[in-house]
């Protein structure tokens, strides 16, 4: 029900009965407890496995050399595994422990998962973002699992007086050469006393012996609790004496409270106190916006009290931010030369000698992440220590932000991670947790800060708005000889640094400077744009507008040149090869999603393969009924290659999506069930951003407020059939990203299908669910 929590108490659904979650002391895994094994295992070098080198130092991946505590075994044989990444629907709370359990030969039915608190010095990087959890941590998990198995075998061999090489470990049992059998629990104390083995001492299972990895047979750990309502999300945490708070925040980013009158608010039954919170203008990182907080005995009283507030706002420097005006400004900027980010060949000559020049611009509005669970956090301050429960993607970042905001040491802040009811980048910014921490210290009582859907829509860190202008030089034979792409949008860096006008290398590397086309003359430039609202991560980030523009433009090229879209794409991508950033004259700081290009290159053969797989599966080239069409798009992001073929049907002017084929090459597929689930979710989110999602501003204020005017895909019109095709690879091929790369090709595939069905070209995101008649 949290997805529909609204300021409007007359229309919001009644809250479901929720369990009381009291504070529970976390198990201590290090120390001398003789009752169970506490493994201290090295999360090794990322390149520890010769055939699976992820090519990076411990620091780059956030891995550490110090022992990490991830496993314990109780005397009854129960194995407890630590999940150090946040669960927001990707299944990573299952997938990484599953890898560890497989390598240590644990019986999954006897495994318990426990969520790690925010503590990067102990657990390594905990930022659940960038579709990197599996690719960065699959090998450390295997190494730790192998270490446990080795220690158990060594303890059994010592007890039996046999050669450790004669001992086998399989499905929660350790067996000796003469039929001896001991359970994991029987050996816990002895195994704990053994040193963690060096990497050279370990042996690893082959892919043929995997019990859980790559089988797709392990269900999500929390599936039963989620489906039965027992799962604990941020707003489910209940502490004794807890109060509830809501905040009236400045309607314009950078605004502040000029004055306020809380007289009527304090008369509302249940309202306990009113507090003014300070805020920060841009750049403010993840600091709260500020405003007036109403603290009450319950949510109803807090919301009623907030509505009774009388606040005069001073809007500040962004008061004039209006979408239509800003769009026109970006469109003019995109027509002018920008800051050159990549130059290959002689672009000016190619355009000067062209037989014809084809140019189009593509626009995207801001978008809010709108996770089904709006932000919420519970905080308690006592004895100089701040304790927070929150659905955060980056728990240690939240810990540091809270400590800095309150002037505490990081060691004086604990952040417990609940399940996330969706995240999509919003919950990597823990401003809501900082609000709760401030109020808990000010009131001296536990406080839950609850955001409503209106709060979430109007005070997010938005996906950037953008204009992408692409021009192609075409010779007399219909060959594309030149390519210019000017990308204009406010940068995410505006959240962190003042006067940012251009993209930084991470944004450049998301479908802009890394365009994988065999065109001899390419220029990628970036026109200046100033942010007037908070810009943040949104699932797949800048890949969304770039994929939409590039893949739509290629389809337009094909049409104008009388070519088939698939063949045009294959021709532009060119022969199978590994792109060389140096030969392509990409920037020296070219960002390859944080991983070495030598190990995670752009491979055009893989890109073409997923395009062909999706197109063939959808029946590309077949005759379509009137009002129906197929559209294609292909894109590389987060080191994975994804091709999409979308089947669109227009019914009474409404865009419907009866079938979608998604082909993904994400290297070794460790958990196929989750990969399929993520692609299905990407189809839903991709259709949402294509048809529905738009955040607009008028005089600095967000126009939209809830799902009535910030619409999403609903049960009466959604991707009806999504078929996922996973390219099979052996374990020796790197696992790459899954959570985000399915989203970018979806919108252009839909737009291209609409054109093939109707002849109408859509160049704006969102396009709208209904075509104008």
How far, CA to CA in Å, does 525 sit from each of 329, 340, 498, 505, 598? 17, 4, 21, 12, 25
Would you say the C-alpha torsion 34, 157, 207, 57 has a positive or negative sign? Answer: positive
| Residue 15 near residue 1, CB atoms below 8 Å | yes
pLDDT at position 23 is 35
Nearest alpha-carbon partner for 509 in 537, 548, 543, 540: 543
Residue 222 is part of a domain; what is its CATH number?
A: 3.30.365.10
Residue 631, classed as helix, strand or coil, is strand
Q: Which domain holds residue 186?
A: 37-226
Same domain, 277 and 327: no
Q: How many Cα atoms occupy the beta-carbon half-sphere of 639 within 13 Å?
A: 28
Place of tokens 């090229």: 557
How far does CA 102 lie from the centroid of its chain? 26
Please report the pLDDT score of residue 293 as a whole number.
Answer: 98
Q: In Å, what is the CA distance from 138 to each residue of 458, 596, 731, 761?
A: 38, 17, 11, 43
Number of H helices, E strands in the chain: 18, 28
Phi and psi dihedrals of 724, rounded to 5?
A: -100, 130
Mapping DSSP to helix (H, G, I), strand (E, B) and coil, where does residue 609 land? helix
Residue ending a domain, choose from 226, 250, 274: 226
The answer to whether position 455 is within a domain reads: no
Cα separations in angstroms, 32 against 27, 115, 410, 450: 13, 22, 26, 41
Q: 74 and 196 in one domain?
A: yes
Q: Which helix (H) or strand (E) holds 147?
A: helix 133-160
pLDDT along the chain (773 residues), means of 10: 44 34 32 34 33 36 48 95 95 95 96 96 92 91 91 96 96 96 95 86 91 92 93 97 98 98 98 97 97 98 98 98 98 98 98 98 98 98 98 98 98 98 97 98 98 98 98 98 98 97 98 98 98 98 98 98 98 98 96 94 98 98 97 98 98 97 97 96 98 97 98 96 97 95 98 98 97 75
**Are residue 50 and residue 148 in the same domain, yes or no?**
yes
The verdict on 329 and 219 lying in the same domain is: no
Domain co-membership, 252 together with 173 = no
Please list, in sequence order, all residues whose beta carbon lies within 8 angstroms of the beta carbon of residue 342, skipping any fewer than 6 positions away: 508, 512, 513, 522, 523, 524, 584, 585, 586, 587
Listed residues 425, 450, 475: the one ending a domain:
450
Evaluate whether residue 722 is within a structural domain: yes
Instruction: Determine contact, residues 421/390, Cβ cutoff 8 Å.
Output: no
Residues 615 and 471 in one domain: yes
Listed residues 198, 226, 254: the one ending a domain: 226
- Position 22 in a domain: no
| Claim to verify: residue 391 and residue 473 sit in the same structural domain | no
CB contact at 8 A, 92 and 133: yes
Contact 683, 746 (CB under 8 A): yes
Please give the pLDDT value at position 199: 84
Q: Tell me the H-state helices in 253-385.
A: 299-308, 323-334, 347-352
168: part of which helix (H) or strand (E)?
strand 168-170
Residue 749 resides in a domain:
yes
Q: Record the pTM.
A: 0.93
Which residues face 656 on adjacent strands?
649
Same domain, residue pair 313 and 331 = no
User: Coil, strand, or helix at residue 680?
Assistant: helix
Interatomic CA distance for residues 126 and 70, integer angstroms = 13
Task: Give the C-alpha separation, 738 to 540, whole Å.
Answer: 10
At residue 193, the pLDDT reads 81
The SS3 of residue 565 is helix
Nearest of 82, 70, 77 to residue 188 by alpha carbon: 77
**Within-domain flag for 23:** no
172 and 117 within one domain: yes
Residue 219 and residue 238 in one domain: no
Q: Are 496 and 558 members of one domain?
A: yes
Instruction: Tell me whether residue 205 is in a domain.
Output: yes
Strand order through the sheet with 243-248: 271-277, 291-296, 243-248, 447-450, 376-382, 385-390, 413-417
How far is Cα 58 from Cα 757, in angstroms, rounded to an integer?
Answer: 51
Dist CA 303 CA 164 (whole Å): 65
Task: Please give the torsion angle defined by the CA atoms of residues 109, 110, 113 and 114, in that order, rounded to the nearest 10 degrees.
Answer: 160
Angle at 488 between CA 485 and CA 493, to 5 degrees: 125
Residue 553 and residue 441 share a domain: no
Number of domains in the chain: 3
Domain annotation covers residue 608: yes
pLDDT score, position 48: 32
- Phi/psi of residue 131, nearest 5 degrees: 50, 45
Helix 672-691 vs helix 746-758: angle between axes, to the nearest 10 degrees? 60
């Amino acid at each position: 029900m949290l997805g529909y929590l609204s300021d409007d108490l007359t229309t919001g659904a009644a809250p479901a009965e929720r369990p009381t979650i009291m504070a529970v002391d976390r198990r201590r895994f290090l120390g001398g407890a003789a009752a169970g094994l506490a493994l201290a295992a090295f999360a090794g070098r990322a390149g520890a496995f010769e055939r699976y080198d992820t090519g990076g130092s411990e620091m780059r991946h956030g891995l550490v050399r110090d022992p990490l505590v991830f496993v314990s075994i109780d005397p009854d044989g129960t194995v407890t595994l630590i999940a150090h990444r946040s669960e927001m629907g990707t299944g990573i709370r299952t997938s990484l422990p599953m890898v560890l359990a497989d390598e240590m030969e644990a019986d999954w039915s006897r495994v318990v998962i426990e969520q790690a608190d925010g503590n990067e010095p102990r657990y390594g990087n905990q930022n659940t973002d960038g579709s990197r959890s599996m690719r960065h941590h699959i090998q450390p998990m295997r190494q730790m699992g192998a270490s446990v198995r080795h220690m158990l075998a060594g303890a059994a061999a010592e007890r039996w007086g046999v050669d450790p090489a004669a001992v086998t470990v399989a499905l929660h049992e350790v067996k000796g050469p003469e039929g001896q059998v001991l359970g994991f629990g029987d050996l816990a104390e002895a195994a704990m006393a053994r040193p963690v083995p060096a990497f050279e001492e370990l042996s690893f299972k082959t892919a043929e012996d995997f019990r859980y990895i790559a089988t797709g047979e392990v269900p999500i750990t929390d599936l039963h609790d989620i489906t039965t309502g027992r799962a604990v999300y941020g707003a489910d945490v209940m502490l004794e004496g807890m109060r509830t708070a809501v905040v009236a925040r400045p309607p314009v980013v950078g605004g502040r409270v000029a004055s306020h009158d809380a007289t009527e608010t304090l008369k509302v039954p249940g309202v306990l106190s009113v507090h003014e919170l300070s805020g920060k203008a841009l750049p403010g990182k993840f600091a709260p916006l500020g405003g007036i907080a109403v603290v009450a005995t319950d949510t109803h009283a807090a919301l009623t009290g907030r509505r009774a507030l009388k606040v005069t706002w001073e809007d500040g420097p962004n008061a004039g931010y209006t979408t239509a005006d800003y769009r026109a400004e970006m469109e003019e900027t995109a027509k002018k030369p920008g800051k050159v980010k990549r130059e290959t060949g002689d672009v000016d000559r190619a355009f000067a000698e062209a037989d014809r020049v084809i140019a189009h611009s593509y626009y995207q509005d801001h978008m809010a992440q709108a996770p089904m669970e709006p932000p919420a956090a519970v905080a308690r301050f006592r004895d100089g220590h701040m304790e927070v429960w929150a659905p955060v993607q980056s728990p240690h970042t939240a810990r540091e932000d809270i400590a800095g905001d309150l002037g505490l040491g990081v060691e004086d802040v604990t952040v417990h991670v609940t399940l996330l009811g969706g995240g999509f980048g919003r919950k990597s910014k823990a401003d809501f947790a900082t609000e709760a921490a401030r109020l808990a210290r000010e009131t001296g009582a536990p406080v839950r800060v609850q955001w409503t859907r209106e709060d979430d829509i109007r005070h997010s860190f938005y996906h950037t708005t953008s204009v992408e202008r692409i021009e192609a030089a075409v010779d007399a034979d219909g060959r594309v000889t030149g390519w210019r792409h000017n990308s204009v949008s406010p940068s995410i860096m505006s959240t962190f640094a003042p006067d940012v006008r251009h993209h930084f290398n991470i944004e450049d590397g998301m479908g802009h400077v890394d365009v994988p086309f065999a065109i001899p003359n390419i220029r990628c430039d970036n026109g200046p744009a100033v942010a007037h609202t908070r810009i943040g991560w949104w699932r797949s980030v800048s890949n969304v507008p770039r994929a939409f523009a590039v893949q739509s433009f290629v389809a337009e090229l094909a049409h104008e040149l009388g070519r088939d879209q698939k063949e045009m794409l294959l021709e532009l991508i060119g022969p199978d090869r590994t792109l060389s950033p140096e030969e392509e004259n990409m920037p020296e700081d070219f960002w390859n999603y944080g991983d070495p290009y030598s190990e995670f290159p752009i491979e055009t053969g893989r890109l073409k393969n997923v395009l062909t797989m999706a197109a063939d599966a959808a029946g590309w080239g077949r005759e379509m009924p009137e009002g129906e069409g197929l559209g294609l798009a292909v894109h590389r992001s987060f080191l994975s290659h994804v091709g999409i073929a979308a089947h669109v049907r227009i019914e009474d002017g409404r865009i419907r999506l009866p079938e979608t084929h998604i082909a993904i090459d994400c290297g070794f597929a460790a958990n196929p069930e989750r990969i399929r689930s993520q692609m299905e979710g990407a189809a839903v989110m991709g259709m949402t951003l294509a048809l529905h999602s738009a955040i607009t501003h008028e005089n600095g204020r967000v126009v939209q407020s809830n799902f009535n005017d910030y619409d999403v895909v609903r049960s009466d019109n959604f991707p009806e059939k999504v078929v996922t095709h996973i390219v099979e690879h052996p374990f020796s091929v790197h696992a790459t990203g899954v959570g985000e790369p399915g989203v970018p090709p979806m919108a252009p595939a839909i737009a291209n299908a609409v054109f093939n069905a109707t002849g109408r070209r859509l160049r704006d995101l969102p396009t709208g669910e209904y075509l104008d008649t």
